[in-house]
Amino acid sequence: MAIYSPSLPKSLGRGLLKAEPGSLEFEDIQHFLIHRSPALAARYEFLTFREPAAGRAWLGAMTEKVTTAAAVRSGQLDTRWVTVALSWNGMRGLGLDDHSLASFPEEFRQGMATRAEVLGLTGRNHPEHWKSGLASADLHAIVILFARDVPERERCRVEHEKFLLQCQGVEVLSSLDLEAIPPFDYAHEHFGYRDRLSQPAIEGTGEEPMPGSGPAIKAGEFVLGYPDEEGPSAGGPKPEMLSRNGSYIAYLMMEEHVGAFRDFLRQHGETHDEQELVAAKLIGRWRSGAPLVLTPEKDDPELAGDYQRTNDFDYGKMDPHGYGCPLGAHIRRMNPRDTAANMNRRKMIRRGGTYGAPLPEDAPEDGRERGIAAFVGCASLVRQFEFAMNVWANDPSFHELGNERDPIVGTQDGSFDMTIPKRPIRNKIKRLPAFTTIRGGAYFFLPGIKALRYLASLT
C-alpha cells in the first residue's frame, strides 16, 4: 500500500520529463496513476447524484479542476492535485445510456460490494459492516484531493464545500481526511513499514524501471486505449471516447490494528531484534524497507533507500525455499516476481495514504481507528486487482502453503498459519491474528479528460 511521501516524485525532481515518441496523450489522462504527487495530506469525498443534471453540472465544473498527467510532467509546482472518478451507478446517475453502461466489464458493473466473496471480503471484512455509504448503490463519484499540506487541504475542502452549495442535487455521502504520519523522512504506514518501494514503470512515461523490476510495462495494462502486454487494446467501454485514456481503480479502506500487531511481535520475540525479525518475516522486508532476500540476517537501512539495489532481487534463484523471505510473506505474495506466470499482466499501480493519528511507540491500543486508504489502478479489475486479492492474498494453497493467507491484506480469522522457513526446522506460527480489517471499498472508473467532458455534457 502506498503512503504519502514528502519527497518530490522523480518527474518533478528531475524537472521536465521528456515524452517518448508515440507516447501517451498526457493532456487527456488524469495524473493519478501516471505520476505521484508530493502530497502530505489528502481528502476523499464520496458523492451521490440525486439529480442527473446536477451531477453533470458538478462534473463539468470539476473536470476543469482535475490535474492532468501533462500538468505534472510540465514540472509546475502545484499545491493540490485533483482526481475525479465515477462508479458504474454514478455514470447511470449522470444519464449514460444503457448500451454504453452494458459495455463496461461485469465486475465493474457489479461493484466491489457485490464482488466481496471473490475478493475474500468475508467475516468482519464483509460489506455489511462497511460504513460511509461505500456499499450503497447511491455511491456515484469520488473526488480525491491530494494537497501539499494540511492548510492547503483545508482551503480546498472549504472551496469544494462552497461549490457544492451551488449544486443542489449533489451530496456528500461521506469523506475521509488523510495525513502522512511522522517521521517524514520516508513514506510508511502505521505498523512502521516503509512503503512505495516497488511500483511498475509505465512505458512511454519516460520513467526508468528500478533495477530488478524488469522492463517498463506497456501502458495498456493501466490505461485503456493503448497496446497492452499482449497486443492492441480491445473490448473497452463504448463509445470509444469513454475508454480512451481511462482506467479502473479499486478503493480499499483498511484499518490497521497497531496494538494487536505490536502485541503479536512481543509474543513472538523476546528481544527488540527478534521482534524486528518477526515483523520483517511477515512482510518480506525489514521495517526500514530493506528486502530479506538481500539481507536476511540483519537490517540495512542504507540498502532500503538505495533505489538501485532495494528491488534488485528475485526469488527463484536467490531464495527458492524462503529462508530469507518466507513464501507467504506479503511482498512475495503480492509480487511473486520470477515465481509466477504472466506477471506483466498482473501489475498494478498503487496510490493512497494513511488516515488516523499514529499510535505512539509503547502506548497501549487506544481504540481509535487508523489505517490505510488506498487505490489500485489497472486496466482490468478481474485480471489484475481481483486476481491479486483472490489468488495471491487469499488462496490458502498459494505456493503449496496449505493453510495460509497474506498476513496483512489476506482475510484472517485466527484459523490460518504463517510458515517461516528456517534451517534445520521451519517455524510455523499457528492461528495468526487479523492485523487489519477492511472498512470499506469501491470500484471506480477514472475517465480521461475528454471522457469526463462527454459525461458532463450528456443530454
Partner 1 sequence: MAARVIEAPATPEEKLRDWTKPAAMAIPKEGYVSVKNGRYGPIYPRTPACHGFTIIAKIKPGREDAIRSYGKTIEKAITDIPDVLETLKLHYLRWVLFDIGQDTYFMYQGIFDTDFDKYTEDAVALFKKVGVNTVFENLEGFPEDWKTNVPAFVKFLREHQCPSFLEYGEYPYATADEIKKALQLKAKFSEMLDLMQ
Q: What's the min distance (Å) between Cβ of 317 and partner 1?
A: 16
By CB under 8 A, is residue 383 in contact with partner 1?
yes
Q: What's the min distance (Å) between Cβ of 300 and partner 1?
A: 33
Nearer to partner 1, 105 or 269 (CB): 105
Residues 6-65 that bind partner 1 (CB under 8 A): none
Q: What's the min distance (Å) between Cβ of 444 and partner 1?
A: 19
Q: Is the peptide bond before 433 cis (omega within 30 degrees of 0)?
A: no
Out of 32, 104, 313, 387, point to the residue binding partner 1 (CB under 8 A).
387
- Rounded to 5 degrees, what are φ and ψ at 407? -65, -15
- Rounded to 5 degrees, what are φ and ψ at 251? -100, 135
Bin 432: left if φ > 0, else alpha if -120 < ψ < 50, else beta. beta
By CB under 8 A, is residue 107 in contact with partner 1?
yes
Q: What's the min distance (Å) between Cβ of 403 and partner 1?
A: 6
- Cβ atoms within 10 Å of 434's Cβ, excluding its own: 21
Q: Does residue 223 contact residue 379 with C-beta atoms inside 8 Å? A: yes
Out of 13, 235, 316, 320, point to the residue binding partner 1 (CB under 8 A).
235
- Rounded to 5 degrees, what are φ and ψ at 107? -65, -35
Where are the extended beta strands (E) located within 129-183? Answer: 141-147, 170-179
Nearer to partner 1, 362 or 400 (CB): 400
Binding span for partner 1 by CB under 8 A among 165-173, 231-239, 270-278, 328-336: 231-239
Q: Give residue 387's identity as a one-letter amino acid code.
A: F
Nearer to partner 1, 189 or 228 (CB): 228
Measured between alpha carbons, how far is residue 289 from residues 78, 84, 300, 313 in Å? 29, 32, 8, 14
Report the alpha-carbon distance of residue 351 to residue 249 in Å, rounded.
Answer: 10
Measured between alpha carbons, how far is residue 76 from residues 39, 245, 308 in Å? 14, 22, 27
Binding span for partner 1 by CB under 8 A among 71-79, 148-156, 311-319, 399-407: 399-407
Nearer to partner 1, 199 or 411 (CB): 411
By CB under 8 A, is residue 345 in contact with partner 1?
yes
Q: What's the min distance (Å) between Cβ of 436 and partner 1?
A: 20
Please count the residues of this chain forming the interface with partner 1, following the rule CB under 8 A: 27
Q: Give residue 309's identity as a one-letter amino acid code.
A: R
By CB under 8 A, is residue 316 in contact with partner 1?
no
By CB under 8 A, is residue 415 in contact with partner 1?
yes
Q: Does residue 27 contact residue 449 with C-beta atoms inside 8 Å? A: yes
Out of 106, 208, 302, 338, point to the residue binding partner 1 (CB under 8 A).
106
Where does 172-271 have alpha helices with state H?
240-243, 258-268
By CB under 8 A, is residue 76 in contact with partner 1?
no
By CB under 8 A, is residue 396 in contact with partner 1?
yes
Nearer to partner 1, 142 or 252 (CB): 252
- Rounded to 5 degrees, what are φ and ψ at 399? 55, 35
By CB under 8 A, is residue 320 in contact with partner 1?
no
Q: Is the dihedral of CA 24, 30, 36, 38 positive or negative?
A: positive
Out of 71, 118, 164, 265, point to the residue binding partner 1 (CB under 8 A).
118
Which has the closest alpha carbon to 418: 426, 428, 410? 428
- Name the residues that contact partner 1, by CB under 8 A: 105-107, 115, 117-118, 230-232, 234-235, 341-342, 345, 382-383, 386-387, 390-391, 395-397, 400, 402-403, 415
